[in-house]
Amino acid sequence: MEPLVIDAKGMHYRELNQIIRDKVAEGYRHFILHNVNGQRYIGAGIMEDVFIEIHGVAGNDLGVFMKRGTIIVYDDAQDGVGNTMEGTKIVVHGMAGDVCGYGMRGGKLHILRDIGYRTGIHMKTYKDMVPVIIVGGKAGDFFGEYMAGGILILLNLWDDDDRPIVGSYLGTGMHGGVMYIRGEVDPHNLGKEVGIKELDEKDFLLLKKLLKEYCEDFKDYGLSVDEIMKSPFTKLVPVSTRPYGKIYAY
Partner 1 sequence: MLYKSLSSFPVFEVERDYDKCIVCGCCVQQCTFDATYYLPYAKKVITDEHKCVGCKRCEAMCPTGAIKVRAVTNEFKHNAYWDARTIRDIYKQADQGGVILTGGGNDRRFRVYWDHLLIDACQVTNPSIDPLREPMELRTFLGRKPDALEVEYNEKGEPELKTKIAPNLVAEIPVIFAPMSYGALNLNMHKAMAAAADAMGTYWNTGEGSLHRDLYKYGHCTIVQVASGRFGVSAEYLKVAAAAEIKIGQGAKPGIGGHLPGEKVDEEISKTRMIPVGTDALSPAPHHDIYSIEDLRQLIYAIKEATNYEKPVSVKIAAVHNVAAIASGIARAGADIIVLDGFRGGTGASPAIVRDYVGIPVEIAVAVVDQRLREEGIRNWVSIIAAGGIRNSADVIKAIALGADAVYIGTSALLAVGCTLCHKCYTGRCAWGITTNDPHIAKRLNPDIAAERLINLLKGWAHEMKEMLGLMGINAIESLKGNRLRLRAIGLTKEEMDILGVLPAGEGI
Q: Does 180 bind partner 1 (CB under 8 A)?
A: no
Nearer to partner 1, 161 or 250 (CB): 250
Report which DSSP code applies to 2. Answer: P
Q: Does 97 bind partner 1 (CB under 8 A)?
A: no
Among 93, 110, 118, 182, which residue sits at the site for partner 1 (rule: CB under 8 A)? Answer: 118
Q: Does 192 bind partner 1 (CB under 8 A)?
A: no
Contact region for partner 1 (CB under 8 A) — 57-65, 108-116, 196-204, 220-228?
57-65
Among 7, 12, 35, 126, which residue sits at the site for partner 1 (rule: CB under 8 A)? Answer: 126
Question: Could you give the count of Cα atoms lying within 13 Å of 90 in the half-sphere of its Cβ?
Answer: 38
Q: Does 103 bind partner 1 (CB under 8 A)?
A: yes
Q: Is the dihedral of CA 195, 198, 201, 205 positive or negative?
A: positive
The DSSP bridge pattern shows strands 30-37 and 4-7 to be parallel
The minimum distance between CB 230 and partner 1, in angstroms, equals: 34
Q: Does 198 bind partner 1 (CB under 8 A)?
A: no
Note the Cα 236 to chain centre separation in Å: 17
Among 4, 19, 32, 44, which residue sits at the site for partner 1 (rule: CB under 8 A)? Answer: 44
Please report, for residues 23, 67, 132, the alpha-carbon distance to residue 1 in angstroms, rounded to integers and kept in the order given.
Answer: 11, 21, 30
The minimum distance between CB 221 and partner 1, in angstroms, equals: 29
Report which DSSP code applies to 6. Answer: E
Among 31, 102, 169, 218, which residue sits at the site for partner 1 (rule: CB under 8 A)? Answer: 102
Q: Does 113 bind partner 1 (CB under 8 A)?
A: no
Q: Does 148 bind partner 1 (CB under 8 A)?
A: yes
Q: How far apart are the first and last CA of the chain?
A: 62
Sequence-distant (≥ 6) Cβ neighbours of residue 124 within 8 angstroms: 103, 104, 105, 131, 148, 149, 150, 176, 177
Contact region for partner 1 (CB under 8 A) — 4-12, 30-38, 99-107, 227-235?
99-107
CB contact burial 96-127 (16+ within 10 A = b; e otherwise): bbbbbbbbbbbbbbbbbbbbbbbbbbbbbbee
Nearer to partner 1, 123 or 210 (CB): 123
Q: Does 41 bind partner 1 (CB under 8 A)?
A: yes
Among 89, 110, 122, 138, which residue sits at the site for partner 1 (rule: CB under 8 A)? Answer: 122
Contact region for partner 1 (CB under 8 A) — 3-11, 83-91, 163-171, 225-233?
83-91
Backbone torsions φ then ψ of 152, nearest 5 degrees: -115, 125
Please report, for residues 131, 240, 242, 243, 249, the alpha-carbon distance to residue 246 in angstroms, rounded to integers and kept in the order given.
Answer: 29, 11, 8, 8, 8
**Cα(169)–Cα(172) distance, rounded to whole angstroms?**
5
Provide the binding-site residues for partner 1, judged by CB under 8 A: 13-14, 17, 21, 40-41, 44-47, 60-61, 64-67, 79-80, 83-84, 86, 99, 102-103, 105, 118, 121-122, 124-127, 129, 142, 145-146, 148-149, 173, 175-176, 241-250
